[in-house]
Amino acid sequence: MGDKLEIKPGTLALMILTTLNVLGRLHGYGIARRIEETSKQRLSLNYGTLYPALLKLEQEGDIRGEWGQSENNRRAKFYQLTAAGRKRLARETREWHETADLIAAFLSPKREA
């Protein structure tokens, strides 16, 4: 594993939705590179991890995919956030913040008098 981190279950979808929310329409390779860049190269995504997540998000209606030309003149599927995806992103972001606050309380307990 080296110094790369594993993606915790349930976090990849949030990373994809956030990436599309910030950058707009992107193809899968661009999404993967942005996630790696944002993680300061601590995460490494491969096709076997990313594309099933993209397919699931598309089937659930959170993203929409359209075929187009990449910057290298290659055929690529570009993804963008849908209205349902924006709602899911807001909900999951709120839930992750609540979970992080809860875990922080346990990691830094305050002594009661």
Q: What is the pLDDT of residue 27?
A: 95
**Predicted pLDDT at 110:** 78
Apex 28 CA angle, 13 and 35, nearest 5: 55
pLDDT digits (tens, 9 = 90+) for 27-81: 999 999 999 999 999 988 888 889 999 999 999 999 999 999 988 899 999 999 9
Domain ranges of the chain: 11-107
Q: What number does CATH give the domain 11-107?
A: 1.10.10.10
Give the angle subtended at the CA of 89 by the CAs of 93 and 98, to the nearest 5°. Answer: 15
What is the spatial distance between Cα 100 and Cα 97, in angstroms, rounded to a whole number?
Answer: 5
Q: What is the pLDDT of residue 4?
A: 75
Q: Give CA angle at 49 (55, 29), nearest 5°.
A: 75
As a whole number, the mean pLDDT across the chain is: 91
* pLDDT higher than 70, residue 1: no
